[in-house]
Amino acid sequence: MTTIYEVSKLAGVSLATVSRVMNNNTNVSDATRKKVTIAMKELGYRPNSIAQSLASNCSNSVGLLVSEIHGPFYGPMMGSIESTFRAQAKHVIIAAGHSDVEHEQQAIEFLINRNCDGLILHVEALSDEYLIELSKGKTPFVLLNRYIPEIAHHCIILDNVKGGYLAAKHMLEQGHINIAYISGPQWKKDAQDRLNGHKQALAEHNIPFNEQLLYHGDFMEDSGAEGFKYLHNNTQFSALICANDEMATGAIACARESALVLPEQLSVMGFDNVFFTRHIYPPLTTINYPINDMGKMAANWILSEVYKKTTPPIQTVFEPELVVRQSVLVNAQ
């Protein structure tokens, strides 16, 4: 491995000068810069990033913690984050938290021990307290899809209340009155928010919220199926809104097994606009979660806060949008 030392010898300058041309330091004359560049090329010199990190106390790496590395939701997010960083020669180290306190905490420590300069966290199980405490540490981080007032500046979120509202409103506008709802786990803030938005839309239309029409799921496909069964056996409804696409998928599969024709006999909506929603049958009407943009914004947050780069202004709250496909019967009644 060729080192900076060999380059300096070939170019006939000192170590410091070579280092300066590498780091685009201004105080180097064009002549020496050229000499050094040529020497580098000739030797096929590649800086040792580890040594650079140690000396400069900056690893140029950022940690990315998501719940699951597979899964339709995280892929696009990771993709936009990676491309944003690589354009700046930063590398991203991935880790999975599996929505579990132990795992998430371990992963964060792992990433910090790895000298990540900054962290992008999509955590679900960790407590607010832990994260507030973490914010006092030396490794800056940005939180995706989670709002903690004490560290609001670190949070990039979707307006989930509005999303829930938009979904219900759409159903109501199509003439649906009896709208069942399969929620996410209520210990998750986003699940709460979506449900609240839902209730808000009902209230606006003077429709009392009926507990009978509510089933608490866990955001997983199976709970969508279970929720449908439960609701179908216990009450009547022409429409079903699920707090995410996964559950909507499960519910739809189950509804079809019950010989219901969609959307004629049952209208269904999801939430997230995960990429496969347009492939299921009928193509799912849902709420778009601009996860790509949010991932990119998180990356920009790090670029700006940690690496002091100039970036587009940081936006912390993103807006959901209705995506109309064919799983909702138009003009019911």
Q: Which is nearer to DNA, 28 or 262 (CB)?
A: 28
- If one counts every other C-beta atom within 10 angstroms of the C-beta of residue 231, the result is 20
Binding residue for its own copies (CB under 8 A) from 5, 41, 42, 86?
86
3-state secondary structure of 170: helix
Residue 16 touches which member of its own copies, DNA, none, C-beta under 5-8 Å by kind: DNA
55 vs 259 by CB, closer to DNA? 55
State the minimum distance, in angstroms, from the CB of residue 84 to its own copies: 11
92 binds, among DNA, its own copies, none (CB under 5 to 8 A by kind): its own copies
Pick left, alpha or beta for residue 278 (phi over 0 → left; psi -120 to 50 → alpha; otherwise beta). Answer: alpha
Q: Give the nearest distance from C-beta 45 to DNA in angstroms.
A: 7
Lookup: tokens for 184:
């996410």
Site for DNA in 203-222 (CB under 7 A): none
Q: How far apart, in Å, are the Cα atoms of 243 and each of 122, 261, 268, 296, 304?
A: 18, 21, 11, 24, 33
Q: Give the integer Cα–Cα distance in Å for 139 and 194.
A: 32
Binding residue count for its own copies, defined by CB under 8 A: 45
Interface with its own copies includes 214 (CB under 8 A)?
Answer: no
Asked if omega into 282 is within 30° of 0 (cis), the reply is yes
Amino acid at site 323 = V
- Select from 22, 43, 93, 177 the one that contacts its own copies (CB under 8 A): 93
Cα–Cα distance for residue pair 65/125, rounded to 1 Å:
12
Residue in 168, 167, 173, 128 with CA at minimum distance from that of residue 147:
128
- Considering only residues 34-73, where is the footprint of its own copies by CB under 8 A? 46-51, 53-54, 59, 61, 68-72
Among 38, 41, 42, 56, binds DNA (CB under 7 A): 56
The three-class DSSP label of residue 157 is: strand
| List 9, 38, 41, 55, residue binding DNA (CB under 7 A) | 55
Residue numbers at the binding site for DNA (CB under 7 A): 1, 3-5, 12-20, 22-23, 26-29, 31-33, 45-48, 51-52, 54-57
